[in-house]
Amino acid sequence: MPRLGKLEAAVMDVLWSADGALTVRDVLEKMPPQRNLAYTTVMTVLSNLHRKGMVVREPAGRAYNYRPTVSREGAAAASLREILDAADDPRSVLLYFAETASEEESTVLRDGLARRDSLS
C-alpha cells in the first residue's frame, strides 16, 4: 500500500467518514475550512489516489464519484505490515510494541490471535 501524504490522508479521512461515494466538490466542501483548497487541488489529489489504487471512481455525469478501495483499518494494518517488512528485526519491533501495548490493546491482540488460530 502506498504511503499517503498529509493532504492525501486528509482526503481519505473525508472519504472514510462518508456514507457513500463523493464527488470532488463533495470532498472539497467536507475538508476543514482552514485548508483553503482549490477545486483543482482536490481533483488532483483524488486522481493521484485513484492511480495509487486507494480509491475507485465511477462516472457521474461530467464528474466522477470517488470511494475508498480499502477501509481505514485496512490502510492502517497495511502501514504496520510495511513497517514490519522494512524492519531489520521485525521480531524486536513486535516485541517492543507488545511491551508498550495497553491492557485493552493486549486483550484485543490475544483475542485476534486466538480467532486466527481457531480458523486454521
pLDDT per residue as tens, the chain (120 positions): 667 899 999 999 999 999 999 999 999 999 988 888 999 999 999 999 999 999 999 999 999 999 999 999 999 998 899 999 999 999 999 999 999 999 999 999 999 999 998 887
Dihedral sign from CA coordinates of 45, 47, 53, 58: positive
pLDDT value at position 4?
87
Is beta strand 63-68 parallel, antiparallel or unpaired with respect to 55-60? antiparallel
Q: Which residues contact 13 (CB under 8 A, 6 or more apart)?
A: 72
Rounded Cα distance between 72 and 76, Å, is: 6
CB atoms within 10 A of CB 120: 4
Rounded Cα distance between 11 and 48, Å, is: 11
Rounded Cα distance between 21 and 64, Å, is: 9
Helices (H) and strands (E) in the chain, counts: 6, 2
